[in-house]
Amino acid sequence: MTNQALTINPACFITLEGGEGVGKTTNVNFITAQLDNAGIPWIKTREPGGTPLAESIRNLLLANTTETTEAPCHLTELLLMFAGRAQHLDQVIRPALAKGIWVICDRFTDASYAYQGGGRGQSEALLEQLEQLVHSDLQPDLTLLLDMPIEAASARVDSRGQQRDRFEQEQWAFFQRVRDAYLQRAHQHPLRFRVVDAAQSLPQVQQQVLEYLQPLLDKALGA
């Protein structure tokens, strides 16, 4: 368990995490609206993806496999996640932060700990090595973990009526391990993580998100 103080940079790097359908994208948009209200410059981005090359890697990672296509092995999947991340950091995240622009990112390295670590069983030591290699000097200022039971989140995904991607086709035991790994990450990094009860109504979720965002806004605005 680490217990470093929450670092507040001039521009903040905020990540949203959680399983499928918990409301990450919805709340990224809610946060950017709050930043607009406060007159704070921002970009929103996502992982895997965030640059043209990293989006190509995303397509490889999410594509459903058929009889004629090859599924990435677990190590390939992990390395592709970090390859895209290295590109995303270099082309988008670091340049924006350097210019004082806040970065709101839909998933980041905690997702690799949850999915490739918890879900696929890759070792924490390997994940830590890759994290060190790719961004030893940079961590999110705030990570909002949207947490809710997997059955209810899955129903939200189904209600969209879209085809499920390669990850979304996994079994419930996989998603339960992912959820458990996320909660363990939050427990290990209590000053960076804030856990939001994503099963609440959207106004209630957003009230909690705002409560966790407010200290960063106050700091930025000198309140």
Amino acid found at 119: G
User: Using the rule CB under 6 A, is 221 a contact of ligand Z5A?
Assistant: no
Residue 58 beta carbon to ligand Z5A: minimum distance, rounded to whole angstroms: 7
3-class DSSP state for residue 106? Answer: strand
User: Using the rule CB under 6 A, is 55 a contact of ligand Z5A?
Assistant: no
- Is the Cβ–Cβ distance between 46 and 52 less than 8 Å? no
Residue selected from 47, 89, 142, 196 as contacting ligand Z5A according to rule CB under 6 A: 47
Phi-psi region of 31 (alpha: psi -120 to 50; beta: other; left: phi over 0): alpha
Residue 221 beta carbon to ligand Z5A: minimum distance, rounded to whole angstroms: 27
CA separation, residue 173 to residues 54, 118, 170, 176 (Å): 29, 11, 8, 5
User: Using the rule CB under 6 A, is 81 a contact of ligand Z5A?
Assistant: yes
**Residues 137-166 close enough to bind ligand Z5A by CB under 6 A:** 156-157, 160
- Is the Cβ–Cβ distance between 124 and 66 less than 8 Å? no
User: Using the rule CB under 6 A, is 106 a contact of ligand Z5A?
Assistant: yes
Shortest CA distance to 49 belongs to which of 4, 103, 108? Answer: 108
Report the residue number, 81 or 216, with the smaller CB distance to ligand Z5A: 81
Residue 222 beta carbon to ligand Z5A: minimum distance, rounded to whole angstroms: 32
User: Using the rule CB under 6 A, is 26 a contact of ligand Z5A?
Assistant: yes
User: Using the rule CB under 6 A, is 179 a contact of ligand Z5A?
Assistant: no
Residue 44 beta carbon to ligand Z5A: minimum distance, rounded to whole angstroms: 12
| DSSP line for 1-50 | ---PPPP--SS-EEEEE-STTSSHHHHHHHHHHHHHHHT--EEEEESS-S
Binding stretches for ligand Z5A (CB under 6 A): 20-26, 47-48, 62, 81, 106-107, 111-112, 115-116, 156-157, 160, 167-168, 201-202, 205
